[in-house]
Amino acid sequence: MIKLIASDLDGTIIDNNHSIPKNNIDAINTLLQNNIPLVICTGKTYALSHNICQNLHASFGIFGNGSQIIDLKSGSEIAKNTLSISEIEACFDIVKKYNLHVHAYTKDRHYNN
């Protein structure tokens, strides 16, 4: 008996054209018809993934490579693990020192240098 299905978004549910192929929509509809929860697992933040999760009728989401887990049906946060201000500062010191490229995400913003 299948208890749930967990899937990534990019390159899995969503194709390279940023659309959802019909066979994926059909498979997700089959899950819904059989009351099998869909869990979205993605490196993207909840803010960036919220609409697609809603469109897919996903039950749960694991976002930011595991840094946040949300019950998408109730909207409640199950778990969150973020960096402290001092950890962020240390990361940005390394970025500056080695002239690295960085993406940083907050609840509702995305930073990119």
- 53-72 pLDDT tens trace: 999 999 999 998 899 999 99
Of 3.40.50.150, 3.40.50.1000, 1.10.3720.10, 3.40.50.11260, which CATH number belongs to 1-81? 3.40.50.1000
Tokens representing 56? 């897919």
Q: What's phi and psi for 112, nearest 5 deg?
A: -145, 130
Name the residue among 64, 95, 93 with its Cα closest to residue 81. 64
Q: Distance (Å, rounded) from C-alpha 52 to C-alpha 38? A: 12
Q: What is the pTM of this model?
A: 0.81
Q: Distance (Å, rounded) from C-alpha 28 to C-alpha 34? A: 10
Please report, for the chain, the start and end positions of each structural domain, with discontinuous segments joined by +.
1-81, 83-113
The per-residue pLDDT for 105 is 76
